[in-house]
Structure 1
Amino acid sequence: MNLSLSSAWRLLRIPFSVFLMPIFWFAVSATPTISVWRAAAVFCILHLLVYPASNGYNSYYDRDEGSIGGLKHPPQVTESLYWLVLVFDVLAVGLSLLISWPFAVMVLVYLLVSKAYSFKGIRLKKYPFLSTLVVVLFQGAFTFVMVQVGSGVPMDQIQDDTNLLLALVSSLFLCGSYPLTQVYQHQEDARRGDQTLSLLLGLTGTFLFAGISMLLATSVLLYTYFLRNQNTHSLLFLLGTFPVILVFTRWVLRVQKDAAVADFDHTMQMNKVSSLSMSFTFAGILAWQIWHLG
């Protein structure tokens, strides 16, 4: 692999897709009516093709000089990255068609929206509220429903009121976590003229906004589990995500004393603890549900 292609491959940031796994596990845990092979295929398409393609396209237009999600020292962007992203796009849509055409359409829409986020002719990223709305909607509720569509969940179950509430919860959690991923990029974003939500809110405002969003998401989630008579799910969620509360609280207290702690390393640590805790929690809820029903 030549140097140019090697750099392009790194900028796809495939390992970074682990931070988006909670949405998948949340969506499949919301209903036991899934096709295992289809769910596995959906997981691979999203995490190995769709998300990396979005990451790569974002890097192609941002051309970051500082740290980005998943890469503390990103390599130089080359034209190889653009063509590699297109290959991943084609593979993602093509393989999605083997599952179902509605799923393929949703994958295509997701890819197009993710490109509008970064593409210099549109660049939604320049608009703090619009970009946040797009990210939390498409990486949250839209992806939640997309996973269920691809996994073979019947449409009547997808359209159930409580299932749609859970889709809303996924967006509320994204609303809390998304600005946190921007706290260490204030200088880089300001240099490019991107007025991100975190830059607009400032450090204190970002952490306050994140805390309120996550509290609201948790409240709606527990209420929905109550409506579904799934109180065990609530207990498993509270136990499984307790480490997130500890790490977030500790980080906030440290940032109040020293703003420099809002850096790349601490942001990645927060992302890692949050995503892994959420993934294990919802995977555990799914496992408990399968065992209980079986």
Structure 2
Amino acid sequence: MPKTQFYRQLSPQVHRTYGISRSTLLHLRVPFSFFLLPVFLFAWSISPDPEPWRVVMVFVILHFLLYPASNGYNSYFDKDEDSIGGLEKPPPVSKELLYVSLLLDAVALLLGIVLGWWFVVGLFIYGGVSKAYSDDRVRLKKYPLVSWFIAGFFQGAFTFVIAYQAMNNSSLQETLQPVVIYAAFLTTFILMGSYPMTQVYQHAEDARRGDLTLSRLLGIRGTFIFTTIVFLTAVAGYFLYFTSYFTVNYFWLYVLCLSPGLVFFLWWFYKVLQSESAVNFRSTMRLNFLTATGMNIFFLLLWFVIHS
């Protein structure tokens, strides 16, 4: 028997790293946090002069604790058999995944105390909402419009605001100033556009569980059209934001950085119009990667330009 086939047949609990099973580590999907990194980078780029240790702690808590905890909790209750975000072939889950997810949440809250109670409250609210999203007792995920709004708002504007406040240790008045709130809701618009695209290849899996996601409601072609409309609205919002608070040159840099993802999206949409069989996990992940990479590069450049 080939070695790789042998490993696939072993129980997930057999392979362990620091006492944690390989299945659990995979379902935490730490690399998937890369796709949410633009929210943190945008908040950091427009921050006045945050202390470096605060920036590092917010980054670590969000991307290595809060997001993986949410991913793991979601995976535990979904028990997906087909591809999910960041995992083409998800292994079976165990009770360990639930315990590790709750532990990561607890560690995030404890570390958050160092950054202030506002941040801790924000982490607690985010964790609670993410659990309600997938927990069988509530499962917001099965309500298409509610889950779309919840995911977009909490992964976008809400996370942006609590990250900005924690990095800058700012007062409520400083945190809620227009230049911050406008930027926060721009992140929500982008996520609201991309959210249905993360579901477009999961229609069969969602139907099996009885989840009427927004993408299932819209249909495959409708999902692409909806994403196009929301994305164009978000781009117009970025134009107004940069011309109002900075310079239009930042907007053109933004468009340039997003152009690879835009070109791929249009090419993929063309293929889908020819045959809906072109919708698959790998194309979705490729679009997510190109878009997230472009935005991450842009916000890093934005930070450099603003603070140089």
- Give the ranges of 4+ consecutive aligned residues of structure 1 lying more than 6 Å apart after TM superposition: none
* AA of the residue aligned to 2:253: L
Which stretch of structure 1 is more off in the superposition, 172-181 or 156-165?
Answer: 156-165
Distance 1:105 1:166 in 2: 21
Task: Report Cα offsets for 1:160-198 as digits up to 9, x if no partner.
Answer: 123211111111000100000000100000110000000
| Residue in structure 1 matched with residue 254 of structure 2 by the alignment | 237
Shift of 1:221: 1.3
| Residue in structure 1 matched with residue 268 of structure 2 by the alignment | 251
TM-score relative to the length of structure 2 = 0.92
Distance 1:36 1:205 in 2: 44
Q: What is the RMSD computed on CA atoms of the aligned residues?
A: 1.3
Distance 1:216 1:153 in 2: 32
Distance 2:236 2:52 in 1: 30
Kindly indicate whether residue 123 of structure 2 is the aligned counterpart of residue 107 of structure 1: yes
| Residue in structure 2 matched with residue 198 of structure 1 by the alignment | 215
Counterpart contact for 1:166–1:224, Cα < 8 Å: yes
| Residue in structure 2 matched with residue 5 of structure 1 by the alignment | 21
Kindly indicate whether residue 76 of structure 2 is the aligned counterpart of residue 60 of structure 1: yes
| Residue in structure 2 matched with residue 214 of structure 1 by the alignment | 231
Indicate the structure (1 or 2) with the bigger Cα radius of gyration: 2
Residue aligned with 2:21, SS: helix
Counterpart contact for 2:115–2:166, Cα < 8 Å: yes
| Residue in structure 2 matched with residue 281 of structure 1 by the alignment | 298
* AA of the residue aligned to 1:140: G
* AA of the residue aligned to 1:188: E
Task: Report Cα offsets for 1:228-251 as digits up to 9, x if no partner.
Answer: 132232122122111121111111
| Residue in structure 1 matched with residue 241 of structure 2 by the alignment | 224
Counterpart contact for 1:12–1:52, Cα < 8 Å: yes
Kindly indicate whether residue 47 of structure 2 is the aligned counterpart of residue 25 of structure 1: no
Shift of 1:224: 1.3
Counterpart contact for 1:236–1:285, Cα < 8 Å: no
Counterpart contact for 1:183–1:262, Cα < 8 Å: yes
1:133-212 aligned at under 5 Å gives the runs 133-152=149-168, 154-155=170-171, 156-212=173-229
TM-score relative to the length of structure 1 = 0.96
How many residues get paired?
291
Residue aligned with 1:32, SS: coil
2:60 paired residue among 31, 37, 44: 44
1:256-275 aligned at under 5 Å gives the runs 256-275=273-292
* AA of the residue aligned to 1:222: F
Residue aligned with 1:241, SS: helix
| Residue in structure 2 matched with residue 78 of structure 1 by the alignment | 94
Task: Report Cα offsets for 1:94-131 as digits up to 9, x if no partner.
Answer: 11111111111101110110000000000000100001
Percentage identity across paired residues of the two chains = 40
Shift of 1:153: 5.1
Distance 1:289 1:59 in 2: 39
Distance 2:272 2:228 in 1: 14
Distance 1:144 1:57 in 2: 22
| Residue in structure 1 matched with residue 133 of structure 2 by the alignment | 117
Distance 1:37 1:233 in 2: 27
Which stretch of structure 1 is more off in the superposition, 247-256 or 181-190?
Answer: 247-256
Distance 1:47 1:133 in 2: 21
| Residue in structure 2 matched with residue 69 of structure 1 by the alignment | 85
Distance 1:127 1:279 in 2: 31
Which consecutive residues of structure 1, in runs of 5 or more, have no partner in the other structure?
Answer: none
Distance 1:75 1:215 in 2: 37
